[in-house]
Chain A
Amino acid sequence: MTRLEDAFDDLIAQHPQGDPDAILAAARDEVAADRSQRRTRYGLAAAAVVLALAGLAATVVATRDDPDDHVRAGKGPVTTTLPPAERTVRVAFTKGTGAGCKEVETVERTIPGTGPVRVEDRVAFAMAALLDGPTAAEVQRGLTSPFDGDGLHVRSVERSGGLTTIDLDQQITSTVDGASTGCGSDSILAELSATLSDIEGSAPRRITIDGDPDAFWYWLGIEPPREGPFATTDTFAPEGDPAGYAVASVLGVTLRIGPAVNAGVGISRDPAASAYAIGTDLVVFQGTEPDVDVIVPPVPPVPSGEIRLWAKDEGIETLVVGSGADEQVLLDAGRVDGSAQALVALRSGDTPDTTRERLVLVDLETRKVQEVVDMAAWESGHLQARLLSDGDVIGLISGEGQTSVVRWTSGSDEPVWSTPAESAGYPAIAVRGDRALVVDTPSGGSGSLRMRPLTLETGALGEPTTASAASGELWCSDWYDRDELSCARNGSAGAIDEQGRWRPLTTPTGAVVTASR
């Protein structure tokens, strides 16, 4: 028996089998109970209505004018700790069929315990109660809600400078149906507004999803009520041109142009693992098969299927790279001697002994395919690769128990140089011009971000810069601009600088953002 088998045996032995009949009986009971409490599900209209930005912002911060509103204004000095009597919160749910989507009715919930509670605790409790949805009895008397408590969580509630920030779990975006429909977003905003106003009146509040302040609005299908975080002055764009960013996610591919959040081009609605823009006229991208029901897609995403090319004014076509390969992976794109090229790995074979990987450059205008290297594929072949302007390739290869950074040049099966990456977590390389880094990301959701400069001529790794990378599983794919890396943390995209400062980007969940080449 191998060590691996022993380990799995030990793992399984910690949990003796139960009684299948009892498990089945309990499951049947739960299903039966669910059915008896089945609520009126939301019949939300299919047509999405993008609501006026200012009106929505006003909705969220609106003061309730309900005559029986539970207003605490004028009760003395403002403190963040409330007396024990303030243990009741009022949670708003939508009135049932026949009422408008914004019409809500409040019900009371009591915070358990006897001690004083802070305002943020009241908010957290009220939000949790809201996400749980109305009780069966409340449903019977006509209340309904987009929220039904199915795995919905409040991640945190924080108050700072008079602003309360409520951070919701990403799961809400996939669990709550119809949020982006007109009635759905109306109802969600009305319930949130009334519930929170009952506690804090008209105090400003921000609702975020996984820390991203725009994600909440994005989920509702509404333009965020402010300028987006894309404004950056030191991009890779030629002087005077707007910066371009290719965004690949389970929702498809978009090309963002300039600093505005929603300025850009929708390219494809098919789930995508990667996308590379050359300027703002060409985007080459590859699909992925997202895990069903997994809220946060894997990052880096797993590429799958055909590689496609979008050209401005010409639309999308499939890029036929080569026949005979079992698998093709789009690794990068860029300009070599002025011509647009895609870098693709073609893999064939099934076992370590027979698997080979060819790196090829595909001219995106002539479709001519030029081989860079044909190698026996190590365990995973190229994890990542970046195309240099002279046609050489900087690759990150995993194989034979170690990860190495290599430089390939066309026509030679031996690398120009090879440097062990000596990385604990998933490493990544960021290469732009002569700026190259090997980035080690925290494994297991903690630790620090290590950035080591890479000399492209020799492969020498310089002294590392270490930054606190905050919490969460982090993977950085490339430079975002001249000062920041493009990364994904807990499935949310962001830019991170050498001090580890995180700046969220407005993208769908699990997106990989790549600056235009």
Chain B
Amino acid sequence: MTAEASARPAAASDDGELFRAIYPALHRLACVVCPPERDPEDLVQEALVRTLRRGPLIELDAPLAYLRRAVVNLAANERRSLGRLRKAAPRLATTDEAEPAAYPSDVALLSALGPLDRAAVWLSAIEGQTAEHIGQILGCSPEAARTRVSRANKRLRTLLDEEGADR
């Protein structure tokens, strides 16, 4: 397990102190995996709610890793729900579909990946995490994490190639 995975301020005596310490890393990952229609803070708060239902943060062995995994899981579920919502909306005619934000092109490339793939790329390429740790966050084996990283990188490269071809 990496240092960050087990990050817990040694002196943290309550959830407030602990959460303040781990919040920046949690927020960054939430931004990475969050669907464009949603606010990453909502993901963070929902992950926190689900975690607190089980007990205080300070009782967790690896609170940051736990919360990050919860955020990733929520993002993956959100994406699927939103996808279905978009398809159902015209027929139900009862939902307001938010217009996805118009992002600069490179951000749009990242947005073309699924949240798990974005998380895999972020954790491997930016944070430099091991396959073991990535698997811990994504909820899969190191081998599966490595495969996901590889596929996501390939997908990104394909998108970059397409973008280059379009220019």
Q: Which residues of A contact B (CB under 8 A)?
A: 3-8, 10-12, 14-15, 17-18, 20-21, 23-24, 26-28, 30-31, 34, 121, 124-125, 151, 153-158, 167, 169-171, 210, 288-289, 291-296, 298, 302, 304-305, 326-327, 379-380, 398, 401, 403, 424, 443-445, 471-472, 490
Once the chains are docked, how many angstroms separate the CA of A158 from the CA of B93? 12
Q: Quick check: A171 and B31 within 8 Å, CB to CB? A: no
Task: Name A168's closest neighbour in chain B (CB-CB).
Answer: B84
Q: Quick check: B20 and A20 within 8 Å, CB to CB? A: yes
B15 within 8 A of A: yes
A158-B91 CB under 8 A given contacts A12-B28, A21-B16, A302-B140: yes
B140: A residues at CB distance < 8 A: 289, 291, 302, 304
Task: Name A23's closest neighbour in chain B (CB-CB).
Answer: B45
Q: Quick check: A379 and B85 within 8 Å, CB to CB? A: no
Q: Quick check: B73 and A153 within 8 Å, CB to CB? A: no
Once the chains are docked, how many angstroms separate the CA of A3 from the CA of B126? 11
Q: Quick check: A20 and B19 within 8 Å, CB to CB? A: yes
Q: Quick check: A398 and B154 within 8 Å, CB to CB? A: yes
Q: Quick check: A27 and B28 within 8 Å, CB to CB? A: no
Q: Quick check: A379 and B153 within 8 Å, CB to CB? A: yes
Once the chains are docked, how many angstroms separate the CA of A8 from the CA of B104? 11
Q: What would 10 A/B residue contacts be, using CB atoms closer than 8 Å?
A: A4-B126, A8-B122, A24-B48, A27-B48, A121-B92, A124-B92, A124-B94, A156-B88, A171-B80, A424-B158
Smallest CB–CB gap between B152 and chain A, Å? 11
Q: Among B49, B104, B139, which residue has the most Cβ atoms of chain A within 10 A?
A: B49
Q: Quick check: A5 and B91 within 8 Å, CB to CB? A: no
A170: B residues at CB distance < 8 A: 80
Once the chains are docked, how many angstroms separate the CA of A43 from the CA of B94? 34
Once the chains are docked, how many angstroms separate the CA of A27 from the CA of B16? 12
Q: Quick check: B16 and A24 within 8 Å, CB to CB? A: yes
B83: A residues at CB distance < 8 A: 445, 472, 490
Q: Which residues of B contact A (CB under 8 A)?
A: 15-16, 19-20, 23-24, 27-28, 30-32, 34, 39-41, 44-45, 48-49, 52-53, 69, 73, 76-77, 80-81, 83-85, 87-88, 91-94, 101, 103-104, 106-107, 109-112, 116, 121-122, 125-126, 138-141, 143-144, 147-148, 150-151, 153-154, 156-158, 161-162
Q: Among B48, B121, B162, which residue has the most Cβ atoms of chain A within 10 A?
A: B48
Q: Quick check: B139 and A293 within 8 Å, CB to CB? A: yes
B20: A residues at CB distance < 8 A: 20-21
Q: Quick check: B106 and A169 within 8 Å, CB to CB? A: no
A444: B residues at CB distance < 8 A: 112
Q: Quick check: A380 and B94 within 8 Å, CB to CB? A: no
Q: Quick check: A294 and B76 within 8 Å, CB to CB? A: yes
Once the chains are docked, how many angstroms separate the CA of A391 from the CA of B45? 55
Q: Quick check: A10 and B107 within 8 Å, CB to CB? A: yes
Q: Which 4 A-B pairs have the closest CB atoms?
A: A7-B106, A20-B23, A27-B48, A302-B144
Q: Quick check: A304 and B144 within 8 Å, CB to CB? A: yes
Once the chains are docked, how many angstroms separate the CA of A23 from the CA of B30? 14
Task: Name B160's closest neighbour in chain A (CB-CB).
Answer: A3
Smallest CB–CB gap between A8 and chain B, Å? 6
Smallest CB–CB gap between A250 and chain B, Å? 12
Q: Quick check: A156 and B49 within 8 Å, CB to CB? A: no
A380-B151 CB under 8 A given contacts A293-B73, A294-B73: yes
A28: B residues at CB distance < 8 A: 52
Q: Quick check: A401 and B125 within 8 Å, CB to CB? A: no
Once the chains are docked, how many angstroms separate the CA of A250 from the CA of B92? 31
Smallest CB–CB gap between A301 and chain B, Å? 9
Smallest CB–CB gap between B136 and chain A, Å? 11
A380-B147 CB under 8 A given contacts A23-B44, A27-B45, A294-B77: yes
Smallest CB–CB gap between B110 and chain A, Å? 5
Once the chains are docked, how many angstroms separate the CA of A241 from the CA of B165? 51
Task: Name B90's closest neighbour in chain A (CB-CB).
Answer: A156
Smallest CB–CB gap between B70 and chain A, Å? 8
Task: Name A293's closest neighbour in chain B (CB-CB).
Answer: B73
Task: Name A21's closest neighbour in chain B (CB-CB).
Answer: B16
11 further contact pairs, Cβ within 8 A, besides A8-B122, A20-B20, A125-B94: A12-B28, A15-B41, A21-B16, A26-B45, A171-B77, A210-B84, A293-B77, A327-B143, A379-B154, A424-B162, A443-B112
A11: B residues at CB distance < 8 A: 31-32, 103, 107, 110-111
Smallest CB–CB gap between A343 and chain B, Å? 18
Once the chains are docked, how many angstroms separate the CA of A386 from the CA of B110? 32
A30-B31 CB under 8 A given contacts A7-B106, A151-B77: no
A15: B residues at CB distance < 8 A: 27, 30-31, 34, 39-41
A8: B residues at CB distance < 8 A: 32, 110, 122, 126
Once the chains are docked, how many angstroms separate the CA of A125 from the CA of B157? 44
Once the chains are docked, how many angstroms separate the CA of A302 from the CA of B116? 13
Q: Quick check: A17 and B27 within 8 Å, CB to CB? A: yes
Once the chains are docked, how many angstroms separate the CA of A157 from the CA of B30? 33
B34: A residues at CB distance < 8 A: 15
Smallest CB–CB gap between A196 and chain B, Å? 16
